[in-house]
Chain A
Amino acid sequence: MSTGTVAKPSAAPKKAGRRKLTWPWILLIVAAGLVLFSLVRVISGADDLTSVGQVSGALQLAIPIGLAGLGGLWSERAGVVNIGLEGMMVLGTWFGAWAGYQWGPWTGVVVGLLGGAIGGLLHAIITVTFNVNHIVSGVAINILAVGFTQYLSNFTFGEAEGGSSKQSPRIDPITDITVPGLSDWLMDLQQKHWFLISDIAGILGGLVTNLSLLTVVAILLVPATWWVLWRTAFGLRLRSCGENPVAAESLGVNVYKYKYIAVTMSGALAGLGGAFLAIVSTGIYQEGQTGGRGYIGLAAMIFGNWMPGGMALGAGLFGFTDSLKIRGGAENVHALLLLVAILLVLAAAWQLYKKKYVPAVIAAVFAVGFFLWYALTDQVPSQFVDAAPYITTLLVLALSAQRLRMPKADGLPYRKGQGK
């Protein structure tokens, strides 16, 4: 049974199409996206699309997903598939809250991180030392973490003042920072609803308003991870364990050690995500609080091609669509219909340019369909609004998944001295 997660077209050529995205291009794409978005906002009048609140809400929803995704990245870069992120996150929420309500939020953060790390360590023992299938181990850890925390809640929160067997007492909040002046100025600018300028102001404003210190830490972890994994000797060794552990071994790298570190770190990051949920997002521990965010984090990581930046983009996409829907989804998502329609028109044009007429026609037909849907209704049924993040992800993946490439030895068993 495999742990492989990405289809590898076995007969596909190696070199073609695997060109790197360079910075100018990334910026260009981002700029084009922004213009398009702004256009949609102006036409549809859904000013909330890029409001300060929207962006800061998206950030808040994206952070736990992103931290889980970062955890997945560490582990899979070292060759261990970690579907146990969800469980490690659960440990993070529980331990974070347990320590947090008693000894303050920052202690909670540290203990939550340690709680997740314990889950990661367990995963490492099972998969690295015992060489058990990674998915089995991850699934078991998910079950165990949920059972264990729920069980313990009976004896801890259940007996605490202001708590119950399902939730913890309230945890003191972590300081929020808002850059004075700048934040207000951007807010004003955003509320002018000018084309493009207000949108940029909204996005920047969202990034400097009501920012929890832990949010700042979490955001910094993304470039930090990139730097550690791609710019240090430690990171090179760690990644080599995910690409070809036998080769690493032959150069004197202690593969077990790096796998252990990576998977434990992975648990710690997921635990931090859990602690963030409990301490910053909610202020209490709540049974079932993670609600599958560990899995979404994993999805975001795959989406991001096992790279920190891409992963952050994936988490951001989830956070953004999630926030769109939760903040008056009927209207916001309705505006997205227009965006989809425009994108489909662009896709049709592209296909036409490449002389692929059938896909062009299909895209055009869908474009018209979405235009009509947009024009003839004011709202999207709330049930569909809920599905927006997931449909968006599927669409984006369908357009780009073939470029994904997971670490070569990801999910494969490894034993020292057994390489050929």
Chain B
Amino acid sequence: MMKIDKDKLLIGAAGPVLALVSSFVLTMLVLLATGLDPIEPIQLMIENAGYADIQVLIINQTGIYYLAALAVAIGFRMNLFNIGVDGQYRLAAMISAVVGASVELPGPLHILLIVVVAALTGAFWAGIAGILKTTRGVSEVVSTIMLNAIATSLIAWLILPKNLGVQPEGSNDLTTGEIAESGWFPGIDMGQGNGEIYGFTFVALALGVVYWFALNRTRFGFDLRATGESESAAQASGVDAKRMILTSMLISGGLAGLSGMPTLLGDTHTYSLSFPVGVGFTAITIALLGRNNPVGILFAALLFAFLDKASSSLDVEGYPKEITQIMQGIIVIAVVVSYELVRRYGTRRQQQKVGEELAAGGAIKTDKEVSA
């Protein structure tokens, strides 16, 4: 037993180390090949990450990515590929902003209302894909791509001043109107103009714990994972696969809806044309990188937030910012390839053990039989 644990530790550490080393080396090669200093940009980014205001940005972005990636991951756990997180996120942010701006309630209630509306909206939008899949067999990959585009149009229409939107005097932006202060989620001010850590970031982390618990410690989670691992086995075990698909799609959409909340409740307090987009796509990468595991996703989200934010001043120093995107791509490939290599090694080890065990059990018999 001790030996297995040591092995496990070694194997567990080997993957990430191999990945990080190889991705850094590859990135440096790209820089070198284009005649740039291979060390300085990385140095700059690490330096940047040492500053409090950038740290705040990184932490806040991590929270947003974390939620969106959880949304993607829960689908993946079920073999569902929710490419529509981005659309669900945008639509939910917009609708909840409208609702939030149109009412005034005591603090916690106001926030709760907005959050619930966001989760429901996201779930609703994802649910369409879920229903299409369970009743009509439409691949969720296609339907969520379509729903992303449809969400764009729907939002564009809803946000027109003649519908639900507002065009602030003198602005060329369209917004949903400002949410009253009672609906703002209190954050932690880091002082000295370093910005605020969104309070919702902690909700995101808490949801990570919930995600872990629900998946690993509840019947529901077991059913969900079982369905993801083998739909046929899960069905035979008593899982209603269709309901499971719909449920996980709804949860995924709900989480996607929540991923707009850090920004909405902690920063903008309104949904406007300049509300951040594309979160849902980055989240796919993060979920894959974090292997759909709540802790893994946290690290992956942190890594991506770091690459996003710590690179903000690279262009000022004369390095194309795109280098971070190349790094992201390389990291993903390096991580999965090295995990695969390590996994192959690990499986071989495990089989060897099973083999040894079996051999030990049958050894005596074999010897006797040879003479037969």
Contacts and interface: CB of A to CB of B under 8 A. Distances in A.
B65 to A, nearest CB: 14
B336 A398 contact: no
A265 to B, nearest CB: 21
Nearest to B156: A383
Interface in B294-343: 320, 322-330, 332-333, 336-337, 340-341
B154 interface: yes
B368 interface: no
B354 interface: no
B216 interface: no
Given A126-B337, A130-B337, A144-B326, A386 B153 contact: yes
Nearest to B143: A394
Contacts of B241: 10
Interface stretch (A18-26, A35-43, A172-180, A296-304): A296-304
B329 A143 contact: yes
B332 A299 contact: no
Contacts of B333: 126, 137, 140, 144
A239 B63 CA distance: 44
Contacts of B30: 151
A135 B241 CA distance: 23
Interface in B118-142: 132-134, 136-139, 141-142
Candidate in B147, B153, B285, B292 with the most chain A CB atoms within 10 angstroms:
B153
Interface stretch (B47-55, B77-85, B185-193): B77-85
B11 interface: no
A147 B152 CA distance: 25
A144 B329 contact: yes
B363 interface: no
Contact of B139 (A7, A11, A132, A386): A7
B150 interface: yes
A104 B246 CA distance: 52
B340 A151 contact: no
Interface stretch (B203-211, B227-235, B250-258, B269-277): B227-235
Candidate in A126, A155, A394 with the most chain B CB atoms within 10 angstroms:
A394
A250 interface: no
Interface string A126-165: 1000111101110111111111101110110000000000
B231 A151 contact: no
B288 interface: yes
Contacts of B34: 151-152, 155
A306 to B, nearest CB: 12
Nearest to B332: A140
Interface residues of A, number: 56
A104 to B, nearest CB: 26
Interface in A376-413: 381, 383-384, 386-387, 389-391, 393-394, 397-399, 401-402, 404
B265 interface: no
B292 to A, nearest CB: 7
B292 A1 contact: yes
A94 interface: no
Contact of A390 (B141, B150, B292, B336): B150
Given A1-B228, A394-B143, A384 B138 contact: no
A402 B153 contact: no
Given A10-B232, A397-B138, A402-B136, A130 B328 contact: no
B146 interface: yes
A352 B328 CA distance: 55
A386 B325 contact: no
A130 B245 CA distance: 30
Contact of A6 (B139, B231, B288): B139
A136 B322 contact: no
Nearest to B330: A144
A4 interface: yes
Nearest to A141: B329
A147 B322 contact: yes
Contacts of A387: 149-150, 152-154
Contact of A298 (B76, B134, B141, B292): B141
A310 B145 CA distance: 19
A140 B149 contact: no
A398 B132 contact: yes
Given A7-B138, A140-B329, A384 B337 contact: no
B231 A10 contact: yes
Contacts of B136: 397-399, 401-402
Nearest to A391: B150
B28 interface: no
A143 B341 contact: no
A297 to B, nearest CB: 11
15 contacts: A2-B81, A6-B139, A137-B333, A140-B285, A141-B329, A148-B329, A155-B34, A292-B145, A298-B141, A299-B141, A383-B160, A387-B149, A390-B149, A394-B143, A401-B138
Given A126-B337, A133-B336, A147-B323, 15 more contacts: A1-B228, A5-B81, A6-B137, A130-B336, A140-B285, A143-B328, A143-B329, A147-B327, A150-B325, A151-B326, A298-B141, A299-B142, A386-B152, A394-B138, A394-B147
In order of increasing CB-CB distance, the 5 nearest A-B pairs are A144-B329, A147-B325, A383-B157, A387-B153, A2-B79
Interface of A: 1-7, 9-11, 126, 130-133, 135-137, 139-148, 150-152, 154-155, 292, 295-296, 298-299, 302-303, 381, 383-384, 386-387, 389-391, 393-394, 397-399, 401-402, 404
